[in-house]
Amino acid sequence: MADAMEFAVSAVLIGTGATIVMDIWGMVRKRLLGIPSLDYALVGRWLGHLASGRLRHDRIAASPQVAGERVVGWAAHYLIGIGFAGVLLALFGLDWARQPTIGPALLVGIGSVAAPFLVLQPAMGAGIAASRTSHPWTARLQSLVTHTVFGVGLYASGAIISLSGH
């Protein structure tokens, strides 16, 4: 039972921390490079329509708004980050959380780019791996860099939490 509690607490703390790192990267990227982050209200919109049975949109921004979409989108963003931290811990064990190393964190972080490439982008009308966007390779590179930063965030969060002895 103690291991299950440690797993859950570690996943929440590491996933939240890594998602914060990713969000900070998004703010820096926007300020320095003028590249906006994903509007998480659109994720909430997609989830709202998903609840009524609509999986795919030609262009999610053109779909009707859903009540509370911004809050739903941001909550989903953080829950997904926590979920990927759970994947990291499920694959590499609680020993990783006790003594984090960069390799597994980068593997999961970079691997997490499959979610937007294969699920979110196609469902929101951007095509598989942003193939229907005006600059697909630019969008792919941005996603890859952002998810690599998420991997760095997994490691950094794990390291900080392990030092604090949560």
Q: Kindly report, residue by residue over 54-78, the tens digit of the pLDDT.
A: 999 999 999 999 999 999 999 999 9
Token pair of 140, please? 């792919």
Instruction: Of 49, 41, 160, give the one whose Cα is nearest residue 105.
Output: 160
| pLDDT band, residue 166 (cuts 50/70/90) | low
What is the SS3 assignment for 120?
Answer: helix
The pTM assigned to this predicted structure is: 0.94
Check residue 140 and give its pLDDT.
96
- Residues 94-100, mean pLDDT to the nearest whole number: 96
The domain of 102 spans 2-164
* Sequence letter at residue 146: T
Q: Distance between CA atoms of 139 and 145, rounded to whole angstroms?
A: 10
Check residue 38 and give its pLDDT.
87
What is each CA distance from 35 to 15, 66, 70, in whole angstroms?
24, 26, 20
Q: Distance between CA atoms of 59 and 37, rounded to whole angstroms?
A: 17
* Sequence letter at residue 62: A
Helices (H) and strands (E) in the chain, counts: 8, 0
| pLDDT band, residue 164 (cuts 50/70/90) | confident
- Residues 132-153, mean pLDDT to the nearest whole number: 96
- Whose structure tokens read 């939240």? 16
Task: Provide the H-helix boundaries in 102-135.
Answer: 102-111, 114-115, 121-123
The model's pLDDT over 6-31, given as tens digits with 9 standing for 90+, comes to 999 999 999 999 999 999 999 999 99
Q: Distance between CA atoms of 117 and 20, rounded to whole angstroms?
A: 21
Q: Distance between CA atoms of 41 and 142, rounded to whole angstroms?
A: 19
In the chain, the number of structural domains is: 1
Q: Distance between CA atoms of 69 and 72, rounded to whole angstroms?
A: 5
